[in-house]
Structure 1
Amino acid sequence: MNKKVPISLLALFSPLLLAAEQSSNAEAIDAIVDALNQKQQPECYHFTDEVPPEEFIGFPECDLTPSKLTGSVEVGAFFNTSDNDYFIAKARSDLNHEVGKLRTNWILDVFGRKSEVEDDVTGKKRYETTDQKWLTSLQSNYTLEEGGRNYLFGYGSYEADRFNGFDYQAAVAAGWGRRWYETDIAYFDAEIGPGFKVDEIAETDDHNNRTETSTIVRTAATYERRIYQTMEFKQTLSAEIATKTGENSKLKSVSSVTTKLIESLALKFAFTVDHNTNVDGDIEKTRTETSLTLVYSI
Structure 2
Amino acid sequence: MKKIICLFCLILAVKGYASDPLKAFYKYGELSDDEIHKLHEGDILYGDVEFGLIANNGNKKSTAFKLKSNVYQDFTQWRNQFKLDALYREDDVNDTGHNEVSASRYFVSSQGNYKVGQDNESFFLYADYLNDKFSGKDYTATVALGYGNRLFEGRKDTIDFDIGPGLYLSKTDSDTELAQGEARLKQGQLLRIALQWERNISKRTRFNHDVSMEVSLSGLNDRLISETAIVSQVLGGVSLKISYTYRYNSQPETDKVKADTELGATLVYSF
Q: What's the counterpart of residue 193 of structure 1?
A: 164
Aligned runs of 1:70-109 on 2, under 5 Å? 70-109=46-85
Q: Which has the larger displacement, 194-203 or 75-84?
A: 75-84
The verdict on how the C-alpha distance between 1:184 and 1:97 changes in structure 2, with shifts beyond 3 A counting, is: farther
Q: What's the counterpart of residue 141 of structure 2?
A: 170
The correspondence for 1:289, drawn from 254, 262, 266, is 262
Shift of 1:125: 4.5
Q: Is the 8 A contact 1:149 1:180 kept in 2?
A: no
Report the Cα distance in structure 1 between the residues aligned to 2:175 and 2:259, rounded to whole angstroms.
19
Q: What's the counterpart of residue 265 of structure 1?
A: 238
Percent of pairs with identical residues: 28
Q: Which has the larger displacement, 85-94 or 229-238?
A: 85-94
Q: Which has the larger displacement, 198-207 or 168-177?
A: 198-207
Kindly provide the CA deviation profile for residues 28-70 of structure 1, in whole angstroms up to 9, marking residues without a partner as x.
xxxxxxxxxxxxxxxxxxxxxxxxxxxxxxxxxxxxxx51342
Report the Cα distance in structure 1 between the residues aligned to 2:185 and 2:205, rounded to whole angstroms.
43
Q: What's the counterpart of residue 153 of structure 1?
A: 124
The verdict on how the C-alpha distance between 1:124 and 1:148 changes in structure 2, with shifts beyond 3 A counting, is: closer
Report the Cα distance in structure 2 between the residues aligned to 1:230 and 1:164, rounded to whole angstroms.
37
Kindly provide the CA deviation profile for residues 186-209 of structure 1, in whole angstroms up to 9, marking residues without a partner as x.
210011100001011123352498
Please give the TM-score of this superposition, normalised by the length of structure 1: 0.72
The verdict on how the C-alpha distance between 1:75 and 1:235 changes in structure 2, with shifts beyond 3 A counting, is: same
Q: What's the counterpart of residue 31 of structure 2?
A: none
The correspondence for 2:177, drawn from 181, 206, 209, is 206
Q: Which runs of 5+ in 2 are unaligned?
A: 1-40
Shift of 1:124: 3.2
Q: Tell me whether 1:256 sits opposite 2:226 in the alignment.
A: no
Q: Which runs of 5+ in 1 are unaligned?
A: 1-65
Kindly provide the CA deviation profile for residues 237-276 of structure 1, in whole angstroms up to 9, marking residues without a partner as x.
111111023x111111011111100121111111111111
Q: Tell me whether 1:215 sits opposite 2:186 in the alignment.
A: no
Shift of 1:184: 4.3
Kindly provide the CA deviation profile for residues 212-255 of structure 1, in whole angstroms up to 9, marking residues without a partner as x.
0011000110001110111111001111111023x111111011
Q: What's the counterpart of residue 274 of structure 1?
A: 247
Report the Cα distance in structure 1 between the residues aligned to 2:262 and 2:174, rounded to whole angstroms.
24
Number of residue equivalences: 227
What secondary structure does 1:282 align onto? coil
Please give the TM-score of this superposition, normalised by the length of structure 2: 0.79
Aligned runs of 1:22-33 on 2, under 5 Å? none
The verdict on how the C-alpha distance between 1:74 and 1:205 changes in structure 2, with shifts beyond 3 A counting, is: closer
Q: Tell me whether 1:139 sits opposite 2:111 in the alignment.
A: yes
Q: Is the 8 A contact 2:176 2:254 kept in 1?
A: no
What secondary structure does 2:98 align onto? strand
What secondary structure does 1:170 align onto? strand
Shift of 1:127: 1.3
What secondary structure does 1:67 align onto? coil
Query: 2:108 is matched by which residue type in structure 1?
Result: T
The correspondence for 1:128, drawn from 87, 90, 100, is 100
What secondary structure does 1:100 align onto? coil
Structure with higher Rg: it is 1
Which of structures 1 and 2 has the larger relative contact order (alpha carbons within 8 angstroms, sep 6+)?
Answer: 2
Report the Cα distance in structure 1 between the residues aligned to 2:75 and 2:97, rounded to whole angstroms.
54
Report the Cα distance in structure 2 between the residues aligned to 1:159 and 1:206, rounded to whole angstroms.
21
